[in-house]
């Protein structure tokens, strides 16, 4: 056996041993995770992709025939690909938008608070419905941060949802109490963005 062949065989053995150890760790973790219930996932950070990730989970849930509710705070003035697709192809999705657009466009706090509360009224029945498997609260963190919605009321409704229901919350910030409540927190970091280089938002990619 040549030195090269011996080296390749040693690499193969080391790789197999390493993968066997990794599999044992993964299998043990899977075995230990025996708590069957819905989860709260917070997708936050200043980077692009939080809502996109949430809508990916919408598609995943629909693939299993789950009942899904989507409520978008902030967005709703400019038409988006997600809205078009859900309305045209997923009529079973309970879909609502606040419809006022970004808060820096409205510049009317009282109007924004009224719109937020009206939109929250669409959320509460979803969070109380045991037949709703997944609820997306897109950009609701801004409503908490700007104090358009009562933080305690929002967190209480999420915490006391049906045990099998999962909730995805997106948006920057949201506060320490929301982070504490969430089972999973993922932060999207802004490293580089095409818009900062003067590249226009692209249909089908950005909206």
Question: Residues 23-68: pLDDT tens digits?
Answer: 888 877 677 767 799 999 999 999 999 999 999 999 999 999 999 9
Residue 203 has pLDDT above 90, yes or no: no
Where do the domains of the chain lie? Answer: 1-34, 37-197
Q: What DSSP element (H or E) covers 170?
A: strand 166-170
Query: What span, in angstroms and rounded, lies between the C-alpha atoms of 123 and 129?
Result: 10
Quick: pLDDT tens for 67-95.
999 999 986 667 889 889 999 999 999 99
Q: Do 137 and 123 touch, CB atoms closer than 8 A?
A: yes
Mean of the per-residue pLDDT values of the chain: 90
Residue 156 has pLDDT above 60, yes or no: yes
Residue 130 has pLDDT above 70, yes or no: yes
What pTM was computed for the model? Answer: 0.83
* Fold (topology level) of 37-197: Rossmann fold (3.40.50)
**Would you state the pLDDT for residue 84?**
92
């Amino acid at each position: 056996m040549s030195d090269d062949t011996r080296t390749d065989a040693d690499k193969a053995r080391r790789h197999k041993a390493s993968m066997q150890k990794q599999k044992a760790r993964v299998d043990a973790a899977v075995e230990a995770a025996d708590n069957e219930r819905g989860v709260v996932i917070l997708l936050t950070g200043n980077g692009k992709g939080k809502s996109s990730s949430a809508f990916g989970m919408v598609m995943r849930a629909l693939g299993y025939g789950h009942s899904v509710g989507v409520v978008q705070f902030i967005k709703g003035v400019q038409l988006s690909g997600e809205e078009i697709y859900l309305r045209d192809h997923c009529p079973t999705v309970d879909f609502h938008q606040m419809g006022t657009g970004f808060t820096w466009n409205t510049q009317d706090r009282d109007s924004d608070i009224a719109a937020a509360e009206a939109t929250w009224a669409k959320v509460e029945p979803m969070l109380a419905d045991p037949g709703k498997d997944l609820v997306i609260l897109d950009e609701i963190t801004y409503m908490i941060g700007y104090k358009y919605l009562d933080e305690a009321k929002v967190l209480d409704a999420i915490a006391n949802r049906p045990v099998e229901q999962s909730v995805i919350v997106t948006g920057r910030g949201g506060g320490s109490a929301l982070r504490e409540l969430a089972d999973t927190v993922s932060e999207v970091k802004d490293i580089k963005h095409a818009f900062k280089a003067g590249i226009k938002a692209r249909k089908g990619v950005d909206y």
